[in-house]
Amino acid sequence: MKKNVPDTITFFERLLPLVTSGEKVITIRDKSESHYVPGTVVKVFALETGKYYTNIEILSVEAIRYDDISDYHATQEAMTLDTLKALIREIYPTEQSLFVIRYRLVNGSQAI
């Protein structure tokens, strides 16, 4: 495995119940957070507190343009398209090139 492969990921605390329930199965990030490798398992932490929550397996990382984010992605994020696009703009105000990171919960890893 190559060096600098991320082994942790953070989510806003308010989104973690969706992650740990398995309802949220993707995350959309910018290039600085696009270096996840399919097949690797990463630890999930709350951004605000650093609290450990669970482990996820990275399934895929695919480039996407902001304008191509659709209801399909919103469903996988467990939110409406308007909410998803507003959240992305809150985090990445001007970014057009983003990445969809698809993941699944790793059984038996929940800390909650």
Kindly list the distances between the CA atom of residue 48 and the CA atoms of 10, 11, 15, in Å, as whole numbers in the listed order. Answer: 9, 8, 11
Please tell me which residue in 3, 13, 24, 90 is annotated as part of the active site.
24
- The band of 8, judged by pLDDT with boundaries at 50, 70 and 90, is very high
Q: Is 57 in the active site?
A: no
The answer to whether 105 and 90 are in contact (CB under 8 A) is: no
Rounded to an integer, what distance in angstroms lies between the CA atom of residue 53 and that of residue 62? 25
- The band of 1, judged by pLDDT with boundaries at 50, 70 and 90, is very low
Query: pLDDT tens, 25-67?
Result: 999 999 999 999 999 999 999 999 999 999 999 999 999 999 9
- Assign residue 29 the CATH number of its domain: 2.30.130.30
Please tell me which residue in 27, 40, 48, 90 is annotated as part of the active site.
27
Structure letter (DSSP) for residue 10: E
Please tell me which residue in 77, 85, 90, 95 is annotated as part of the active site.
77
Rounded to an integer, what distance in angstroms lies between the CA atom of residue 99 and that of residue 30? 6
Predicted pLDDT at 3: 67
Task: Please name the residue that has the structure tokens 């709350």.
Answer: 46
Look at residue 91 and tell me if it is in a domain: yes
Q: Is 90 in the active site?
A: no
- The pTM for the full model equals 0.91
Q: Is 27 in the active site?
A: yes
Number of domains in the chain: 1
The more confidently predicted of residues 75 and 3 is 75
- The band of 108, judged by pLDDT with boundaries at 50, 70 and 90, is low
Look at residue 42 and tell me if it is in a domain: yes
Kindly list the distances between the CA atom of residue 3 and the CA atoms of 29, 48, 86, in Å, as whole numbers in the listed order. Answer: 20, 27, 34
Look at residue 78 and tell me if it is in a domain: yes
Look at residue 109 and tell me if it is in a domain: no
Look at residue 66 and tell me if it is in a domain: yes
